[in-house]
Amino acid sequence: MKNMEIIHLNWEEYDWNDGFEQFNEKKHYGIYQVYGDHPVYGENALLYIGKAREQTYSARLSQHDDFIYTHLSTFRRLHLSYFLKSDDINYDNWGESIDLVEKVLINSHCPAYNAQDVKGILDDKTIGKDVLILNWGTRGKLLPEVSSLRYSYYYWNKVDIDKVLK
C-alpha cells in the first residue's frame, strides 16, 4: 500500500438564506456542501460540493451566479468544513489537500450540480496519493469515512473486475 494521508474535517451547518458575508475571515477556507430541493433527487438533496482554496468561503460562494439566478429558491442549507488539527495533515501543502479532498468527495457522493470529478474511477495522476477523509460534526449526507482507495485505478487495475461483480 502507498502512503495514506488522513484528513479530519469538522463540518458546521448554516442556513443558505443567511448570506455569506460572515465567512470572510482567515479561517474560512476549505470544502463546502450545498443542500436543497431537486426535481429528481427530492428534498434536502446534496446538490454541490465545492472548495474555497485561495479565497474565503464568502468570496467563493458569492461567485456562484449560476446558483443565485437559476436555483435560488431550491437551496436551503450550507455546510462548511474546517481541518481539525491533526498530526496527519501536512499544513505546508493544505491547498493540495483541499484539492484532493474535493475530488474524492465529489467522486464518492455524486452531487446533482457537480459536473467535474464525477467520473467513476480516478487515475493516479488525478489523485496523486491515497487519502482517508474522516467527516465529523454536522456532515450532512456525507459518509463518515471516505477513502480514495475505492476510486483509484491503482487498485482496480490489479483486480479481475468480472470476479468482483459476480
HSE-CB at 141 with a 13 A cutoff on CA atoms is: 20
Residue 24 pLDDT grade (very low, low, confident, very high; cuts 50, 70, 90): confident
- Which residue has cell 490489479? 158
- Helices in 30-64 by DSSP H: which ranges? 57-61
For residue 141, give the C-alpha cell.
Answer: 449526507
Which residues, including other chains, have CB under 8 Å from residue 16's CB and lie 6 or more apart?
Answer: 34, 36, 75, 76, 77, 78
- Which residue has cell 451547518? 13
- Which residue has cell 458546521? 12
39 vs 120 pLDDT, higher one: 39
154 vs 64 pLDDT, higher one: 64
pLDDT of residue 10: 95
pLDDT of residue 63: 82
Q: What would the mean pLDDT of 130-145 be, rounded to a whole number?
A: 94
Residue 94 pLDDT grade (very low, low, confident, very high; cuts 50, 70, 90): confident
- Judged against a pLDDT cut of 70, whether residue 69 lies above it is answered with no
CB 34 within 8 A of CB 81: no
Sign of the C-alpha dihedral computed for residues 124, 127, 129 and 134 taken in this order: negative
Q: What would the mean pLDDT of 92-111 be, rounded to a whole number?
A: 86
pTM of the entire predicted model: 0.82
